[in-house]
Amino acid sequence: MRENKIRAIATEEVRRALRQQRTDEVASDLDRLTERLTNTTSMAARAAEQVVRLEAQTRRIATEVAGRIVREQRGRLDRDQVRVAVRDELAGVLRAEQAEMRSQLLDLAREEAKRALDEHAPTVTEVRVVDAPSIRVEGETHHVLPDLLLALGAHCHVLLVGPAGTGKSKLAEHSARAFDQPFYALSVGPTTPMSKVFGYFDAHGLYHDTPFRRAFEQGGLMLLDEIDCGHPGLLAELNQALALGICAFADGMVTAHPQFRLVATANTYGAGGDRRYVGRQALDAATLDRFTLLEVPVDERLERRLALAHAPSQQDAVVQLLATVRRLRATAEEKNLPVMFSPRASIEGARLLEAGVPLAKVLQWRVLRGLSQAHRSALGLSP
């Protein structure tokens, strides 16, 4: 019974000493840094671990002190003696605690510096391609860009496949800039005529060329956007040009320029429509065989950097917007729902925030628009 009472006094003294310890300069610095990082999962987890560890340390010290006093004093209760014993025990423990807190402070500071660098420092992509000087691209780019540059540098035609809004078309534009050559683009649809690709003669007998013709004959990077929306017959006409480097245009046969490069984009792998992309066409296997295929997933680091860059005065609101978009995106993927939360929602939403639109309206206009009640329920949203 006396040991329990001594343990209670020791526990109280340990808690008091630890509370005093929090006035230490290191703890104050840690608190200030913690205040900036309280919205991060890692910080919350570390804080919880610290509480558990201190509680365990308190119980251990109190038990050891109580047991020693009982043995030394044969059960006599002396509150002052308990306090002295606790202070002696804590002398070494609190020095170790200070060292631990300093270490945590440095770790958190490094993490904060790395996060700030990732968000604000300019990015530079440098790639060495076959038989050419290294290619250097400055600015915000998708992490797939180095792979794309390597494939194009090897004179492969590339098909970029990925969800809407992941930056596939922008990758093609960045590649043209990297190779320092003209950039041409054509969006392909089910009714795109042959003349839009291969050119035509008008009623006066004048030939009208096309972006594809100029890239093919004079050199340049050609983007065929959304080819899984195009008619398979139109795309099959490109097979000869892509495989042999010779193409039959309206005014005759033309040989490809040595620096002709072609990038195509698609949301599907050429097998036809699915629940999200219902209007997509099945592509001929011979057409697909002409391409090197690269997957373009969502680059969340790029999404965050672009969103924050578009709303410099609304950083906290952008962080909340990003968290909501990513949570809904993950849930939709997990449950295979036919709804989409692309990086465009985050980036365009950031523009609206910077223009003064409240976050609740931004979510309604850009993120939650058009969701059925069933989909809202599946996503865990209120009615």
Residue 374 lies in a domain: yes
The pLDDT value recorded for residue 51 is 56
Dihedral sign, CA of 38, 43, 49, 54?
Answer: negative
CATH number (domain holding residue 276): 3.40.50.300
Do 34 and 152 share a domain, yes or no? no
Whole-number CA gyration radius for the chain: 32
Q: Are the C-beta atoms of 298 and 319 separated by less than 8 Å? A: no
The pLDDT value recorded for residue 112 is 59
Residue 114: band (very low, low, confident or very high) from pLDDT cuts 50, 70, 90: low
- What are the structure tokens assigned to 231, written together? 């008619």
| 3-class SS of residue 208 | strand
Specify burial of residue 134 (Cβ count, 10 A radius: 0-12, 13-18, 19+).
exposed
Pairing mode of beta strands 207-208, 200-201: antiparallel
Do 290 and 156 share a domain, yes or no? yes
Specify burial of residue 42 (Cβ count, 10 A radius: 0-12, 13-18, 19+).
exposed
The pLDDT value recorded for residue 149 is 92
Pairing mode of beta strands 260-266, 158-161: parallel
Do 346 and 275 share a domain, yes or no? no
Do 284 and 350 share a domain, yes or no? no
Better-scored residue on pLDDT, 33 or 303: 303
Q: Where among 274, 295, 316 does a domain terminate?
A: 295
Residues in the chain: 383
Residue 25: band (very low, low, confident or very high) from pLDDT cuts 50, 70, 90: very low
Q: What are phi and psi of 154, to 5 degrees?
A: -85, 10
Do 200 and 273 share a domain, yes or no? yes
Residue 127 lies in a domain: no
Question: Is residue 30 scored above 50 in pLDDT?
Answer: no
Residue 37: band (very low, low, confident or very high) from pLDDT cuts 50, 70, 90: very low
Do 196 and 270 share a domain, yes or no? yes
Helix (H) or strand (E) holding 103: helix 79-120
Q: Where among 295, 310, 344 does a domain terminate?
A: 295
pLDDT in tens, 290-317: 999 999 999 999 999 999 999 999 989 9
Better-scored residue on pLDDT, 118 or 182: 182
Do 247 and 157 share a domain, yes or no? yes
Better-scored residue on pLDDT, 336 or 82: 336
Name 31's Cβ contacts closer than 8 Å, sequence gap at least 6.
22
**Alpha-carbon separation of residue 331 from 100, 107, 324, 334, 368 (angstroms):** 38, 32, 11, 5, 14
Do 275 and 312 share a domain, yes or no? no
Q: Are the C-beta atoms of 342 and 296 separated by less than 8 Å? A: no
Do 288 and 306 share a domain, yes or no? no
Name 291's Cβ contacts closer than 8 Å, sequence gap at least 6.
156, 157, 158, 159, 242, 264
The pairs formed by 61-67 with CB atoms below 8 angstroms and a separation of 24 or more are: 61/10, 61/14, 61/86, 61/89, 61/90, 61/93, 62/7, 62/10, 62/11, 62/14, 62/86, 63/7, 63/10, 64/89, 65/6, 65/7, 65/10, 65/89, 66/3, 66/6, 66/7, 66/10, 67/3
Residue 184 lies in a domain: yes
Angle between the 300-310 and 343-354 helix axes, to the nearest 10 degrees?
10
**Spatial distance between the Cα atoms of 64 and 42, rounded to a whole number of angstroms:** 33
52-61, 236-245, 271-280, 320-329 — which one is most confidently predicted on average? 320-329
Average pLDDT, the chain: 79
Residue 38: band (very low, low, confident or very high) from pLDDT cuts 50, 70, 90: very low
Strands (E), the chain: 124-127, 135-138, 158-161, 183-187, 200-201, 207-208, 220-225, 246-249, 252-255, 260-266, 292-295
Q: Are the C-beta atoms of 317 and 366 separated by less than 8 Å? A: no
Do 178 and 255 share a domain, yes or no? yes
Specify burial of residue 269 (Cβ count, 10 A radius: 0-12, 13-18, 19+).
middle
Q: Where among 250, 269, 295 does a domain terminate?
A: 295
Do 83 and 159 share a domain, yes or no? no
Name 379's Cβ contacts closer than 8 Å, sequence gap at least 6.
328, 331, 332, 337, 339, 371
Which has the closest alpha carbon to 82: 97, 70, 94?
70
Residue 345 lies in a domain: yes
| 3-class SS of residue 121 | coil
Do 271 and 329 share a domain, yes or no? no
| 3-class SS of residue 325 | helix
CA angle 232/233/237 to nearest 5° reads 115
Question: Is residue 129 scored above 90 in pLDDT?
Answer: no
Residue 383 lies in a domain: no
DSSP secondary structure code for residue 77 in this structure: -
Residue 131 lies in a domain: no
Q: Are the C-beta atoms of 217 and 251 separated by less than 8 Å? A: no
- 320 lies in which domain range? 300-378
Residue 179 lies in a domain: yes
Return the biggest CA–CA distance within the chain: 118
Number of domains in the chain: 3
Residue 335 lies in a domain: yes
**Spatial distance between the Cα atoms of 174 and 186, rounded to a whole number of angstroms:** 16
